[in-house]
Amino acid sequence: MERLSSPLGRHGLLVAFFYLLLAVSVGLVAVVLFLPDHSFPGFSDISNYTQLITSGSMAVVCLYAYFRWSRDALLIHGAFAAVSWTLANTFWYAYTLIIKTNLMYPTVAEAGFIGVFLFLIAGYEEVFARNRLPVWVTGAIMLPPLAVPLWLVLGMGLNLATVLTLLFFILAMGLVAVSVLYSVHLYGVLFLGTLAVALTHMLYAVRSTLPDPPWLLGVVGPLAAVSFALLALGMLGRSKEALL
């Protein structure tokens, strides 16, 4: 009990909590990938609550760690990113549950999802030192995935949905590029979370654009929870350095 009252004890407890959320989220991803129906009764609700609990908890924990443990600027950026995403997701569910219609893509919720990338890019540029990797490497990272939204533009024409999907891809690959240029990969879990959040939103954009998305894109929801659990663990890992 005494150990839990210490900052390190509380830190350990929070890490364990996010590992638990990560395990649940990975389990939900596995359901989509491996169950014959890619779902079970109540799957959608469990997935939605897991996403909201994970991103909401990340926001609270990052703010707590920033004010109580370490004035690491990444924590405040992470908190803003998680708040932005939680609000956007809440808006999405509120719309679907209250108005009981599928939300037209794009909506205001997209602004909140975009906010995640902006906060994380600003945070990485703020906290990590720029390495000597040439900038053209970012082109090599960004260009190949951009083929997907361009293919959508060619097939479905230039409209709000396809343009926003293109923007999601640019931001997602931009985040990956920045994390490579600023050596985020040195923090393995944080980098994994960054890759996961980028992949999640690219898949989300494709799912929202396609009139009849394939079952595999049902992985988006659980993958979002995986992303935020990993990001929270990565950021908590950095804040632990201040406690030692």
Residue 216 DSSP one-character state:
G
x/- site string to another protein, residues 21 to 60, per CB under 8 A?
----------------------------------------
Nearest Cα to 60, choosing from 76, 49, 39, 44? 76
Taken in order 92, 223, 174, 211, the sign of the CA dihedral is negative
Residue 62 binds to another protein (criterion: CB under 8 A):
no
Measured CA to CA, the distance from residue 185 to residue 187 in angstroms comes to: 5
Query: Which range, of 18-26, 73-81, 193-201, 217-225, touches another protein by CB under 8 A?
Result: 73-81
Query: Which range, of 90-98, 145-153, 204-212, 232-240, touches another protein by CB under 8 A?
Result: 90-98
CB atoms within 10 A of CB 222: 25
Quick one: which of 17, 43, 69, 80 contacts another protein (CB under 8 A)?
Answer: 80
Residue 233 binds to another protein (criterion: CB under 8 A):
no
Residue 17 binds to another protein (criterion: CB under 8 A):
no
Whether the CB-CB separation of 115 and 88 falls below 8 Å is answered with yes
Residue 104 binds to another protein (criterion: CB under 8 A):
yes
Unique residue bearing structure tokens 């079970």:
40
x/- site string to another protein, residues 123 to 162, per CB under 8 A?
x-xx------------------------------------
Residue 73 binds to another protein (criterion: CB under 8 A):
yes
Tokens of 181: 């240029």
Measured CA to CA, the distance from residue 227 to residue 92 in angstroms comes to: 18
Measured CA to CA, the distance from residue 130 to residue 86 in angstroms comes to: 30
Whether the CB-CB separation of 167 and 206 falls below 8 Å is answered with no
Nearest Cα to 233, choosing from 2, 25, 31? 25
Query: Which range, of 17-25, 49-57, 117-125, 134-142, touches another protein by CB under 8 A?
Result: 117-125
Nearest Cα to 232, choosing from 5, 46, 56, 30? 56
Query: Which range, of 19-27, 113-121, 147-155, 209-217, touches another protein by CB under 8 A?
Result: 113-121
Residue 91 binds to another protein (criterion: CB under 8 A):
yes
Query: Which range, of 94-102, 144-152, 187-195, 199-207, touches another protein by CB under 8 A?
Result: 94-102
**Residues near another protein (CB under 8 A), total:** 31
Tokens of 81: 């990113």
* Counts of helices then strands in the chain (DSSP H, E): 9, 0
Quick one: which of 111, 140, 146, 186 contacts another protein (CB under 8 A)?
Answer: 111
Site residues for another protein per CB under 8 A? 67, 73, 76-77, 80-81, 83-84, 87-88, 90-91, 94-95, 98-99, 104, 107-109, 111-112, 114-115, 118-119, 121-123, 125-126
